[in-house]
Amino acid sequence: MKWADVDTTHCGVAAATSIVGDRWIPLILRDVFFGVRRFDDLLTHIGVSTAVLSNRLGRLVEHGILAKVRYRSEGSRHRYEYQLTERGLDLLLVQLALADFGYEHLVDADKRLVDFVDRSTGQRVRLGLVREDGTVIGADSLGMQINEAAASEHQM
Amino acid sequence: MKWADVDTTHCGVAAATSIVGDRWIPLILRDVFFGVRRFDDLLTHIGVSTAVLSNRLGRLVEHGILAKVRYRSEGSRHRYEYQLTERGLDLLLVQLALADFGYEHLVDADKRLVDFVDRSTGQRVRLGLVREDGTVIGADSLGMQINEAAASEHQM
DNA sequence: CAGTATCCCAAGCGATACTG
DNA sequence: CAGTATCGCTTGGGATACTG
């Protein structure tokens, strides 16, 4: 079966893109990953309008990617912050993939703002393709297999 | 230095998002990866309008992610196809990250359309965080380091 | 601080028609 | 086959004002 014949209504890329496929969401997630978690801080750092930020945060909470948490720090009054859920943490790989590509091809190497490291050793970390036995392969060795049963389930 | 103080005009995620951060581009790239490379095939398989497809393909060619190639198969007249460049191949990791997230959290497991495998052994392949020495770490060991020099370069 | 509400313009998009 | 051109509709988004 050819990919061109597959019914893509249940495609993972399409599903993920329906949430993350937006100019603002990746920037919001990036900032949350990096510790910017309050509405106003996101607002000024990202440079987005209140309406859009409100809308996108709502969407992310609705999809279980962020959790809106009310907290009270010493002496001051309560505040809200947006925390990554476990599901949200899984989007880290998407972020990293975007960052890798951006710094590899679009931003001057000497302007690279951030490095990803292994916290225990400080070594640089990149994204890679990992087999089940833990070994790493190159992108040119990657193939794909269509799951015939699922792919034809909703065909006419 | 806090991330909230970093000037993100040269951020890799932002740069990558300015190209890929769109509802159509990931679907186009997915199809091209999987062998759908002609205008009309993309049109019908993705279900996008001619204007949008034309615009996005142009953008991808302009950014050196796809190459428009004219070819002639036996006996028939010439055609065009869009091929991934080397740069485009690097976006494979973004695609895979999106697919992983989508199939993990958004699409029923029994509806998974496609598996990614190592072509030489047929083993399933997933995305992982790889240190420079080739070993793999978990997402919970990931840290980030701000590059102070670059981050403050364009600050006032 | 953390938003919601409104207004109004600009961009995106599907449908359709047309060209080499 | 591989697009470009045009047309209206719908959505997105900045600016601003307002609320608990």
Residue A155: predicted pLDDT: 47
Asked if the Cβ–Cβ distance from A125 to B102 is below 8 Å, we say no
Kindly report the bases of strand D lying within 7 A of a protein C-beta atom.
1-7, 13-17
Q: Give the phi and the psi of residue B153 in degrees, each rounded to 5.
A: -55, -40
pLDDT at B155: 47
pLDDT at A87: 96
Which positions on strand C lie below 7 Å from a protein C-beta? 1-7, 13-17
Whole-number pLDDT of residue B76: 77
Along the 156 residues of chain B, how does pLDDT read in single tens digits? 899 999 999 999 999 999 999 999 999 999 999 999 999 999 999 999 999 999 999 999 999 999 999 998 877 789 999 999 999 999 999 999 999 999 999 999 889 999 999 999 999 999 999 999 999 999 889 999 999 888 875 544
CB B100 within 8 A of CB A95: no
Parts of chain A with a pLDDT under 50: 155-156
Which residue in B5, B94, B110, B116 has the most chain A C-beta atoms within 10 A of its own C-beta, making it the best mutation to test that interface? B94
Q: Are B3 and A35 in contact (CB under 8 A)?
A: yes
Q: CA of B75 to nearest chain A CA: how many angstroms apart? A: 23
Hey, how many other C-beta atoms are within 10 angstroms of the C-beta on A56? 20
pLDDT of amino acid B153:
58
CATH number of A3-151: 1.10.10.10
User: In chain A, whose CA is at the least distance from the CA of B105?
Assistant: A87
Domain boundaries, chain A: 3-151
Helices (H), A39-91: 39-42, 50-62, 86-89
Q: Which two tokens stand for residue B13?
A: 């995620």
Query: Tokens 């490291």 sit at which residue?
Result: A117
* CA distance, residue B50 to nearest chain A CA (Å): 17
Enter the tokens of residue B3: 């991330």
The residues facing A81 across adjacent strands are A69
Residue ranges of alpha helices (H) inside B63-91 are: 86-89
Question: Which of A:101-130 have CB within 8 Å of B?
Answer: 101-108, 110-121, 123-130
- How far is CA B131 from each of CA A122, A124, A131, A154, B156, rounded to the nearest angstrom? 10, 6, 15, 42, 35
Q: Which residues of B touch A10 (CB under 8 A)?
A: 107-108, 111, 113
Residue B78, amino acid: H
